[in-house]
Chains A and B, each alone.
Chain A
Amino acid sequence: MSTAQNHTDGPEISQEVPFWHDPGKRAIVFQALILCLVFAAGYYIFANTQANLRRQAISTGFGFLGREAGFGIGEALIPYSAANSYAHALLVGLLNTLNVAFIGILLTLLLGVVIGIARLSSNWLVSKLATGYIEVLQNIPVLLQLFFWYSLFNDLLPSPRQSFSPLPGVFFSNRGFYFPVPVGHCAFGWAAAAFGGAALVCFLLRRWARKRQDQTGQIFPFWPVSAVLLVGFPLLAWSLAGAPTAMSIPHLTGFNFQGGFSLSPEFGALLIGLVLYTSAFVAEIVRAGIQAISIGQSEAAMSLGLKSNLVLSLIILPQAMRIIIPPLTSQMLNLTKNSSLAVAIGYPDFVSVANTTINQTGQAIEGVLIIMVVYLILSLLTSAFMNWYNKNKALVER
C-alpha cells in the first residue's frame, strides 16, 4: 500500500494521464475515426456515382415515377393498363407481392404445423414420411424448386384446347387454372357482411362462455354453435337477397379461356414452391417447440383425464407457442423476401416490375433503392406485428 503511495507521489510520473491511455478519450477518438472512415467511403462512392452519372448523361431523381410505363402486367389486383404511370405499375407489383406473401404465409402455417406434428406421430409410417418431406425440401434451393414446379406445369399440362377438366367448368391448362365463380351480385356483399357479423357474435359468445365456465364450471358447446352461426348467417343473408345462382363459367374463345376465376401457372408455381419450402422449416420449428415441453406436462394433463387431442391443444401447444413464435417470425419474413424470386419465373411481383422499370428507364439507383426500402418496410411491419403477438402470448411471471 505504501509502495503504491510512493509510486504515485514519485517525481518522474506525472499525475496527468496521456490521452492515449485514457479509455474515455481514446473511445471518442476511435469513434470519430470510424465515423470519418464511414463518411469518407460514403462520399467517395457518392462522388464517383455523380461523376459517372454526369458522364453517361443519366438524370437522377424520382421524376420517372410519373411517366407512362408502357408495359403490360399479366396479373393485376387493381385496374392497370400500359398507359398508367410507373408508380401505378409498382403499386400493382407490390399488391401482387403482398397477395402471394399473405396466402403463402397462411398455407405455410397450416401445412407446417400439420407436418411438424406428423413428425412426432407414434405412427411409424407417418413420422418417416414427414421426416423425408422435411429433409428433402429443406435441402434443395427454393429457386430450383420454383423452376421445377413451373416447368412441370408447362410440360405436363395440356394447351387450352385440350385442357384437362376434372369437374365441369374447371379447366387446367398450361395457360392457367380456371374455376367458375358466381356472377357479381349485391347478395354476396350482404353475405360477406353477415359473415363478419357472425364472427363478431362468435367472439363475444366465446368471452361469455369462458366467463361462465370460470364461474360455474358449465361447458358451453362453443364450436358447434359458432359453426352453425358462421354458415347460417351468410346463407340467410344470401337467400333473403334473392338467392342468385348465376355462375360465370370459363369457356374457350380463340386461344384462351374467358370468364370465371383464373390462376396463372406462374402464381401457382410460386405459391407451391414457397409454401412447400418454408413449411419444411416451420415443421422443424414446431417439432422443436413441442419437444421442448417436458414430458411431465403431458403426463400431468393425461392424469387429469384429458384426451390426447385436448392435451395437445390445451396444454402442449399454448406453451410450445412461446418457443415457436420468434423463429416463426423469421420464417415468415423469409417467405416474404423469397417471394422476390418471382422475377425468375415471370410472375409480376414487386421486384419483377421494378426490374422492368430499371431496364426501361435506366434509373438503376432509384429502382434498387425503392426495392430495398419497400422490403425493409415490409420486414419491419411483419416483425412489429409478430413482436406484439409474442408479447401477448408471453408468459406472465409473478
Chain B
Amino acid sequence: MRTPIPASAVEDLKPPVSSAGPLGWLRANLFKGPFNSLLTLFILFCLYKMAPPLIRWAFIDSYWFSDADVCRAGDGACWSVVSQNLRFILFGFYPYLLQWRPAMAVLILIGLFFYSRDTGRWNRRLGVVWAAGLVVMGILMHGGVLGLAEVETDQWGGISLTLLLALFGLTAAYPLGVLLALGRRSRLPAIKTVCVIYIELIRGVPLISMLFMASVMFPLFLPEGVTINKILRAQAAIILFTAAYIAEVVRGGLQAIPRGQYEAAESLGLNYSQKMRLIILPQALKIVIPPTVSILISAFKDTSLVVIIGLFDLLKTTQVTLSNPAWIRFSAEAYLFIAVLYFLGCFSMSNFSRHLEKELKA
C-alpha cells in the first residue's frame, strides 16, 4: 500500500549545488565554510587596497628612460636608475668598450645551462662541451691571447663576477667535497678525524668569517713577496666553505647505498679506489644531484656576501650606483631590479632541481 507523496514535499527538494564550472570551483576553493569565505574576502579587500597604488607607482607614474632630475620631480618609480646605469651595474669597472666580452661569457654560460637541461644529453660529450665553454669564457674575460686586450681580474665586476664566483666555487669545491665525504666515511681513524673536524668547523662558522679570513689572514699565511689578488682569495674562501656542505650532501648519498653494493664490489676483488670509482660513487652521486643543485643555488646567493670585503659583484656595483647623489633616493627600484635577476637565476635552478628529482625517481 503506497501513500501518495504530498506535492509540497517534492517541491522542497532542490537540485544539488553545482560542483562543476567556475561557480563550483569558486565554492570549493574560495568559499568553503564561513571561515574560508571571511578569509577570502579579507584577502581580496587587502589586495584591492594595496595593489592599485603599487601598480600606479611601478608602471603608470613611473619613469623608464629619463634622467635623475625628472625622477625627483615626479612621485612614481624611477626605473631610470637601472636603465641609465645598466652597463655599470652589470659589468662594473670592466673597460667600457670591451664589455661585449663579459656579456658574451654570460650568454655562453646561460646557453650551456639550457643545453644541459635535458638529461638525455648527459654524457662524456657534455663534459667536453662544458670544459670548452669554460675555457672560452675564461679567454673572453681575461683576454691576452688571440688579439684580445688583457683585462686584469681586479677590473672584473658585476654579474660576470657573481656568476664566476658561484660557478668556479662549486666546480672546485665538488671534488674536494667528495674527498671529504669519503674521508668521513673512512675506517681509518686519523683520516676520519681530520675530515670530521674540518667539516664541522666550517659548517659551524658563518661564511662572512671565512671571507674576513680570506681578506685579512690569507696574506699573512703566504711567504714574503707572494701575493694573491683579492678575488682569488675570496674564491678560495668560498671553495673551502662550499666543500664542507657538499661533503655532507655526498655523505648522505654514500649512506643511502645499500651495504650489499660495497660487499659485492669487494667480493669481485676490487680495491678501494676501484670500488668507489666504479661502483659506489656513480650511484651515490646520482642520488644527490637534486641537493647539489640546492647547494649551487645557495652558493649563487652567498656570493653576494663578497660585498662586505669590498669586491665589485652585482650587489656592490648597484650600491656604488646608489651612492651617486643624483640616484641616492631610488635604492628600492635598483634593489628590486637585481632582486629580479637573482630570482630568475635561483627560481629556474630550483624548478630544474624539482624536475630532475621527478625524472631520477622514475
Contact = CB atoms under 8 A, between A and B. Distances in A.
A351 B219 CA distance: 20
B204 A31 contact: no
A147 B221 contact: no
A34 B190 contact: yes
B209 A125 contact: no
Nearest to A27: B188
Nearest to B213: A368
B231 to A, nearest CB: 18
A49 B218 CA distance: 9
Contacts of B213: 368, 372
Nearest to B302: A141
Given A144-B342, A358-B216, A30 B188 contact: yes
A157 interface: no
Contacts of B339: 140, 144-145, 148
Interface string A196-235: 0000000000000000000000000000000000000000
A142 to B, nearest CB: 7
Nearest to B272: A23
A351 B208 contact: yes
B331 interface: yes
Contacts of A338: 206
A143 B206 contact: no
B350 A376 contact: no
Interface stretch (A68-76, A171-179, A340-348): A340-348
B319 A147 contact: yes
Interface of B, secondary structure class, is helix
B212 interface: yes
Contacts of A141: 301-302, 304, 315, 342
A156 to B, nearest CB: 8
Interface string B347-361: 100100000000000
Contacts, number: 156
Interface string A329-343: 000000001101101
B39 A140 contact: no
A40 interface: no
B194 A371 contact: no
Interface in A366-382: 367-368, 371-372, 375-376, 379-380
A376 B205 contact: yes
B342 A139 contact: yes
A49 B209 contact: no
Contact of A147 (B28, B315, B347): B315
A48 B217 CA distance: 11
A368 B43 contact: no
Interface residues of A, number: 55
A292 interface: no
B307 A344 contact: yes
Contact of A123 (B39, B201, B307, B336): B39
B270 interface: no
A151 B39 contact: no
Contact of B201 (A35, A151, A376): A376
Contacts of B347: 135, 139
A131 to B, nearest CB: 12
A143 B305 contact: yes
A319 B34 CA distance: 29
B209 A351 contact: yes
Interface string B298-325: 0001101101100000010001001000
B315 A341 contact: no
B342 A51 contact: no
Given A52-B224, A143-B307, 15 more contacts: A49-B221, A55-B224, A123-B30, A143-B305, A148-B331, A151-B322, A151-B335, A155-B329, A338-B206, A340-B208, A343-B208, A364-B217, A368-B216, A371-B212, A375-B204
In order of increasing CB-CB distance, the 5 nearest A-B pairs are A139-B346, A151-B331, A124-B29, A31-B190, A364-B216
17 contacts: A31-B188, A32-B190, A35-B190, A45-B221, A48-B223, A125-B30, A136-B343, A139-B347, A141-B301, A143-B305, A151-B322, A151-B335, A341-B208, A351-B209, A368-B216, A375-B209, A379-B203
